[in-house]
């Protein structure tokens, strides 16, 4: 039965689908505002450390779990560790996918609004203060933000219903290279703005006094979120990989491209932030108030900005389909619903969460938990708790429980593909990842203080 499982059609398809999942709003929307709120360059440094020392080994391990078991995120553990509680990792992941979609679809919806504003030319001819005011009047509204969130969930739903190969693979292949090209053009524009160097030194000259326990947790959360690890997304995708997919190369390519896009986004945003006098700590709206200023300074700004927001929406879409796939594959394979019905159940649930998240900027603003509105609560609970916790468990599971020979055989395609640095990988996985994540959690919970 498992050999009949669909696989991605080509090697490039594997890479594009995985990069498509990793590269998204996490890089272009979330990374800049987290960096802005956590002090700039010092955060970037911590982020890169988390990516290399923890994120990458966990990603390789998720690839192992998915391709070895050829099952969804929860079912995989019933194959690798039957009758144990390890499948909790999968349930945690499915729940995280669902909750992330609940706020991610809202931001994805904002990109559609900005795409239409750009297309109709209403995004030009304003001051930086106007952009800030316009954004907050838009996202605190009721009809349009909900309309766009719903549209985005519907788009995701359609692609998921069409299926893995045709839907996911094809859409990623064309759009990702285009997005990359566009970001390079925007970088050039941004670094040639007046006072660009202030932004660049904010991003690249670390001030270590800015590091505290919440910065470290934020950097780790951002690394997990951006790489799509810690929640079984890459377990699900790698269950569709072919036997000859080189897992190490795929993981390294995804990690390098993902990090590059985040840094490019930083290079676009921060020079503009300082050049136009926007506060780097503005939060979730940072990208939406900064970029229109950059576009405004380009010739044919309506054309550039509409193409950019369209590409951003597509980058978001290749991520939402990967999130949706985690939940849909689980409901379909573990609960016996048809794929179509499973997709409906997931989309409906996400829609409910999406509407509440969207309203939490306006109508439901007063309702907070631990000082966070519903949108921020979903973001915090997933990126800073569920994903790192999932990553911790994956590293313990693969590092301590899986037979080293089986692990190596799968990661090297039964000895036919190269896997350099296996010993370093195994060491990071077994010791560094769990200890680092564990300490960061304990520190943040205040049980034990290494950092203030
Ligand atoms: N990595 C995506 C981004 O950076 O936008 C978001 C994401 C997708 C997170 C899939 C988690 C996931 F499983």
pLDDT in tens, 140-167: 999 999 999 999 999 999 988 876 566 6
The residue ranking higher by pLDDT, 283 or 438, is 438
Torsion over CA of 91, 92, 95 and 101, rounded to 10 degrees? -130
Torsion over CA of 27, 33, 35 and 36, rounded to 10 degrees? 150
DSSP assignment of 383-402 equals IIIIHHHHHHHHHHIIIIIS
Residue 190: pLDDT band (50, 70, 90) is confident
For the chain, give the percent of residues with pLDDT over 90: 63
pLDDT higher than threshold 70 for residue 338: yes
Does ligand 1 lie within 6 Å of residue 28's CB atom?
A: no
Rounded to two decimals, the pTM is 0.93
The answer to whether the CB of 259 falls within 8 A of the CB of 64 is no
Between the alpha carbon of residue 220 and those of residues 52, 215, 248, 317, 383, the distances in Å are 11, 9, 22, 24, 9
Write the residue with the smallest CA distance to atom 4 of ligand 1.
Answer: 26
Least confident of 121-125, 356-360, 406-410: 121-125
Write the residue with the smallest CA distance to atom 11 of ligand 1.
Answer: 228
In sequence order, the 6+-apart residues with CB closer than 8 A to the CB of 189 are 294, 297, 298
pLDDT of residue 165: 62
* Closest approach atom of ligand 1 to CA 316: 5
Which domains occur in the chain, in start order?
11-451 (1.20.1740)
Does ligand 1 lie within 6 Å of residue 105's CB atom?
A: no
3-state helix, strand, coil in the chain (%, to 5): 75, 0, 25
pLDDT of residue 449: 56
Residue 415 in tokens: 């000895």
- Mind listing the pLDDT tens digit for each residue in 214-245? 899 999 999 999 999 999 999 988 998 888 89
Please list the residues that pair with 372 across neighbouring strands. Answer: 369
Residue 414 backbone phi and psi in degrees, to 5:
60, 40
- pLDDT (average), residues 49-55: 97
Does ligand 1 lie within 6 Å of residue 100's CB atom?
A: yes
The residue ranking higher by pLDDT, 193 or 58, is 58
pLDDT of residue 2: 40
CA 24 to ligand 1 center in whole angstroms: 7
Write the residue with the smallest CA distance to atom 10 of ligand 1.
Answer: 228
Give the residue, out of 102, 226, 266, 315, with the most ligand 1 atoms within 8 A of its beta carbon, to mutate for a pocket test. 226
CA 228 to ligand 1 center in whole angstroms: 4
- pLDDT (average), residues 320-327: 92
Q: What long-range pairs does 111-114 form, CB within 8 A, spacing at least 24?
A: 111/25, 111/309, 111/312, 111/313, 111/316, 112/148, 112/151, 112/152, 112/309, 112/313, 113/138, 113/144, 113/145, 113/148, 114/288, 114/292, 114/305, 114/309
For the chain, give the percent of residues with pLDDT over 70: 94
Write the residue with the smallest CA distance to atom 12 of ligand 1.
Answer: 228
The residue ranking higher by pLDDT, 173 or 210, is 210
What integer best gives the mean pLDDT of the chain? Answer: 90
* Closest approach atom of ligand 1 to CA 258: 4
- Mind listing the pLDDT tens digit for each residue in 240-299? 888 889 999 999 999 999 999 999 999 999 998 998 888 898 888 888 998 888 888 777
Strand, helix or coil for residue 372: strand
| DSSP code for 238 | H
Residue 134 in tokens: 């316009």
Does ligand 1 lie within 6 Å of residue 99's CB atom?
A: no
- pLDDT (average), residues 94-116: 96
Q: How far apart are CA 171 and CA 19, in angstroms?
A: 12
Does ligand 1 lie within 6 Å of residue 321's CB atom?
A: no
pLDDT higher than threshold 80 for residue 11: no
- pLDDT (average), residues 135-142: 93
pLDDT higher than threshold 90 for residue 174: no
* Closest approach atom of ligand 1 to CA 234: 13
Give the residue, out of 233, 234, 260, 326, with the most ligand 1 atoms within 8 A of its beta carbon, to mutate for a pocket test. 233
Does ligand 1 lie within 6 Å of residue 98's CB atom?
A: no
Residue 12: pLDDT band (50, 70, 90) is low
CA 122 to ligand 1 center in whole angstroms: 30
Residue 298 in tokens: 């380009």
């Amino acid at each position: 039965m498992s050999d009949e499982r669909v696989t991605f059609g080509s090697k490039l398809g594997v890479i594009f689908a995985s990069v498509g999942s990793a590269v998204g709003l996490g890089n272009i929307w979330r990374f800049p505002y987290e960096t802005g709120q956590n002090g700039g360059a010092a955060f970037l440094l911590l982020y890169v450390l988390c990516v290399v020392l923890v994120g990458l080994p966990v990603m390789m391990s998720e690839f192992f779990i998915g391709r070895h078991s050829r099952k969804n995120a929860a079912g995989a553990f019933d194959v690798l560790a039957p009758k144990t509680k390890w499948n909790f990792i999968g349930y945690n992941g499915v729940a995280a996918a669902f909750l992330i979609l609940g706020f991610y679809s809202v931001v994805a919806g904002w990109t559609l609004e900005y795409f239409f504003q750009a297309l109709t030319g209403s995004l030009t001819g304003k001051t930086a203060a106007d952009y800030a005011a316009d954004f907050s009047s838009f996202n605190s509204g009721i009809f349009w933000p909900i309309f766009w969130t719903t549209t985005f969930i519907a788009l995701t739903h359609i692609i998921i219903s069409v299926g893995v190969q045709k839907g996911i693979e094809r859409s990623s292949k064309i759009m990702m290279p285009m997005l990359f090209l566009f970001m390079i053009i925007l970088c050039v524009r941004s670094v040639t703005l007046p006072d660009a160097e202030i932004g660049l030194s904010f991003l690249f000259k670390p001030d270590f006094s800015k590091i505290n326990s919440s910065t470290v947790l934020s950097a780790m959360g951002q690394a997990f979120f951006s790489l799509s690890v810690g929640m079984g997304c890459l377990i699900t995708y790698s269950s569709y990989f072919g036997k000859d997919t080189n897992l190490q190369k795929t993981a390294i390519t995804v990690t390098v491209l993902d990090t590059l896009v985040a840094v490019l986004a930083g290079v676009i945003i921060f020079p503009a932030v300082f050049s136009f006098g926007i506060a780097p700590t503005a939060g979730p709206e940072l990208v939406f108030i900064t970029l229109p200023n950059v576009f405004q300074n380009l010739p044919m700004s309506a054309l550039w900005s509409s193409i950019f927001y369209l590409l951003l929406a597509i980058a978001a879409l290749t991520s939402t389909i990967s999130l949706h796939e985690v939940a849909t594959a689980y409901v379909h394979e573990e609960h016996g619903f048809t794929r179509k019905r499973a997709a409906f159940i997931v989309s409906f649930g996400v829609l409910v969460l999406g509407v509440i998240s969207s309203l939490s900027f306006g109508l439901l603003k007063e309702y907070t938990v631990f000082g966070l509105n519903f949108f921020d609560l979903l973001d915090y609970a997933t990126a800073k708790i569920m994903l790192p916790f999932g990553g911790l468990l994956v590293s313990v599971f693969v590092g301590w429980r899986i037979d080293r020979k089986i692990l190596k055989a799968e990661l090297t395609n039964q000895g036919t593909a190269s896997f350099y640095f296996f010993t370093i990988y195994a060491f990071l996985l077994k010791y560094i990842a769990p200890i680092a994540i564990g300490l960061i959690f304990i520190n943040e919970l205040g049980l034990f203080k290494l950092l203030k």
